[in-house]
Amino acid sequence: QVQLLEAGGGVGQPGEALRLACQASGRIASYASMGWYRQGPGRTQRELVASISRPNIPVYSESAEGRFTISRDNTKNTVDLQMDSLTPVDSAIYYCRYRAYTTYWGQGTQVPVSS
């Protein structure tokens, strides 16, 4: 079992930044990938924002590329998402995801972006 605890959500202002953090605990596999997904208002599916797998190779969605930065600390089992230059389109519930043999999701954290 793996537990994911997210932090850092909240109201964002257009053009400003927010940082999300995810702490994984439990039986962590060394080969697991960790990342962030989001589900926007009215959307039925979660979409990839960014993920990172060992050896710390990041993958970004087209909308996140150049604005968001994912980072991972393998010693602490954390994965953070620095979101810069926020726009209202980034408004969503953001979920941390851990994927190894099994996939686990965090509870989600709300990030509304509004002026």
In tens, the pLDDT along 58-97 reads: 999 999 999 999 999 989 999 999 999 999 999 999 999 9
| Residue 72 · residue 82 · CB < 8 Å | no
What's the rounded mean pLDDT across residues 14-22?
A: 96
Residue 55 has pLDDT above 80, yes or no: no
Please name which of 106, 112, 95 lies closest in space to residue 18, comparing C-alpha atoms: 112
Determine the average pLDDT of the residues in 36-52.
Answer: 96
Say how many CA atoms lie within 13 Å of 68 toward its Cβ: 27
pLDDT of residue 33: 95
